[in-house]
Amino acid sequence: MAELEVPVLSVKQLNKQFGNGCPSCKDKESGDMIKNYCRECGTVYACRDVTFDVYQGEVLGIVGESGSGKSTLMKSLYFDQEVTNGEMYVAGFENGKKNVLNESAQKKRYIRNHLMGKVYQNPILGLKMNFSSIGNIAEKLISAGNRHVGSMETRGASLLEEVNIPIHRMKEEPRNFSGGMQQRVQIAKALSNNPPILLLDEVTTGLDLSVQASVLDLIKGLQRELNISIVLVSHDLGVIRMLADRTLVMLEGKVVEQGLTDQILEDPQHPYTQQLVHSLL
């Protein structure tokens, strides 16, 4: 049981900076910095020594204000961008022994296509708006090595049904859909390769309350049924409270606090977390 548990995803000392840095900001603690921005050379330290583990079947929440590095972190996890340095281990790849951040682009594509799914805040990033909805799903399935049209169609249709997209609209392009429907198509696409890890970046932001609720219920249901691990970024503490087992709090690129979600919400320690929790309406 727990003491023998191996994380599904393990991230160690992940750093991402935009800019080369200069002698003044290389020493991140004492440099001439405004938050995570160097006044001398303009370098932005978006993620600083981010370290965490995600275990099977759990939802790890990440909260933090805009600009705290949440999305940069998610992009790094999905190989949407190169990291500056750091380590990341995925249980499904080489038994979690190899730092996947040092692997070739081809291997990274493999991991992304077979072991991960991602849902972006902005559906334009996650979907091809001029493909049919089912075509979007087929695209991910083809990347994962699927070649059988019939089976892909069956899979696509059942996924879309699962996320409540009416069957008669599955050939339609997502650009005709409402925001909530687009998000649900994204979720169907992300799940199509049965990934053990699902990355959700602000998936309910900007949706109206009832649509938010349906997307959240969908995520919770899927997690329950499939026992997948989810990394969930949100600045909405209500979403975090509803879904996350454990939570990280990010500020200026750093993880300033982590704990069980009820610990974070009921006994916040860091000044920023206290401010955040006390801002809850």
Q: Which residues bind other proteins (CB under 8 A)?
A: 1-3, 5, 55, 58, 213, 217, 220, 224, 242, 245-246, 258-260, 262-263, 266-267, 269, 271, 274-275, 278
For the bound state, the minimum distance from the C-beta of residue 224 to other proteins, rounded and expressed in Å, comes to 7
DSSP H stretches of helix in the chain: 23-26, 70-77, 105-115, 123-126, 133-143, 149-162, 179-191, 209-226, 237-243, 261-266, 271-278
Nearer to other proteins, 82 or 267 (CB): 267
Coil, strand or helix: which one is 176? helix
Nearer to other proteins, 122 or 164 (CB): 164
Nearer to other proteins, 44 or 256 (CB): 256
For the bound state, the minimum distance from the C-beta of residue 247 to other proteins, rounded and expressed in Å, comes to 10
Nearer to other proteins, 72 or 258 (CB): 258
Rounded to whole angstroms, the Cα distance separating 137 from 154 reads 11
Rounded to whole angstroms, the Cα distance separating 38 from 26 reads 9
For the bound state, the minimum distance from the C-beta of residue 61 to other proteins, rounded and expressed in Å, comes to 12
Nearer to other proteins, 178 or 227 (CB): 227
For the bound state, the minimum distance from the C-beta of residue 30 to other proteins, rounded and expressed in Å, comes to 23
For the bound state, the minimum distance from the C-beta of residue 206 to other proteins, rounded and expressed in Å, comes to 20
For the bound state, the minimum distance from the C-beta of residue 261 to other proteins, rounded and expressed in Å, comes to 10
Q: How many CB atoms lie within 10 A of CB 163?
A: 22
Q: Considering just the CA atoms, what is the radius of gyration of the chain in Å?
A: 19
CA distances 62 to 83, 123, 204, 249, 258, Å, are: 19, 20, 14, 6, 9
Q: Which two tokens stand for residue 183?
A: 């998000």
What sign does the dihedral 212-229-70-159 (CA atoms) show?
negative
Nearer to other proteins, 137 or 239 (CB): 239
Q: Which two tokens stand for residue 37?
A: 């921005």
